[in-house]
Chain A
Amino acid sequence: MIKLIDENGLRLDGRKFDELRPVRIEVGVIKNANGSAYIEHGKNKIIAAVYGPREVHPKHLLIPDRAIIRCRYHMSPFSTDERKPPQPTRREIEISLVLRRAMECVLFLEDYPRSIIDVYVEVLQSDGGSRCASITAISAALADSGISMRDLIVGCASGKADGQIILDLSDIEDKEGEGDMPVAYMPNLDKITLLQFDGIFSEYEFKKALDLAIMGNKKIYEILRKALMEKYFKTEEK
């Protein structure tokens, strides 16, 4: 059995219980897309691209008074230690659905009737917490595309390892730990758009984990703001 937290309270990668992994975001990486972003969250490397709003094909999908979101989350065969087959797995289908639902409540879909917004997420390297990192990347891509959004969304997970509540689980902590809770959060509106939970927590532990996840989300939000400001406004500083 692997010890995830040592006697000094440090995790396997040397982090304290409330420390995030390094996060780096770059906006506007795919020229052909209407909006795009690349994120490195720990060892996760993920690209998100937004196409649209555009005409709906096939036409029978269109909704007369709002836009549709179509989201595809895909892990590249080389993204994990063992080669992953390229066809969609049940996990990828679930995450595609969950990401779409997280986005639907933040976008003003009524502004774009009879159209579709296609969101593609490609995981190039995975190391735990990829759905949360994907949410942050999608939010950056949507803002880059100029689609009307109530707020930016960021994602960060908290969980439990060796009986302690920790922030931002890595792959091994996710697999060997006692609980994992991805949270997507809108910082300005102070609302949660995604909350999933896997494990066994007491009520107290759940509240502590939620507060920790929101704290982590606020830190990632500052990094996301900086990345968007860098792309859109840095030329003035030169």
Chain B
Amino acid sequence: MNLRDPLAIARGLGSAKDGTQHWWVQRLTAVALLLLTPWFVWQVLGLIGADQYAVRETLGQPLNATLLLAYVLSMFWHAQLGMQVVIEDYVHGWFEIALQVTVKFAFAFGALASALAIGRIVFSA
């Protein structure tokens, strides 16, 4: 017999049992992307037509590399959260689980590969 007040169990938790964590992180990464996207677009416009050396030189600067890493990680995290919700809404049955796992792995791979590439650009620039 559970003597805990039902409200104590329910408070802060929706049916998914993880409360507002998913919602909150999606908004947090959204704000990060909102701030970083104009910076990124500005950088890319400045790099149009540049050769590989010049691109590495620019992206390898400490501040640029830091912001770029923040941008890429926020992007993959935000995208992964969004894809999860879209799949939850439109895909059902065993394929839903398979797709959720595949998407999580793919986006984790994308974030890791991007971070590795930025690291290589920084340390070889």
* Real binding pair: no
Chain A contact residues, CB within 8 Å of chain B: none
Chain B contact residues, CB within 8 Å of chain A: none
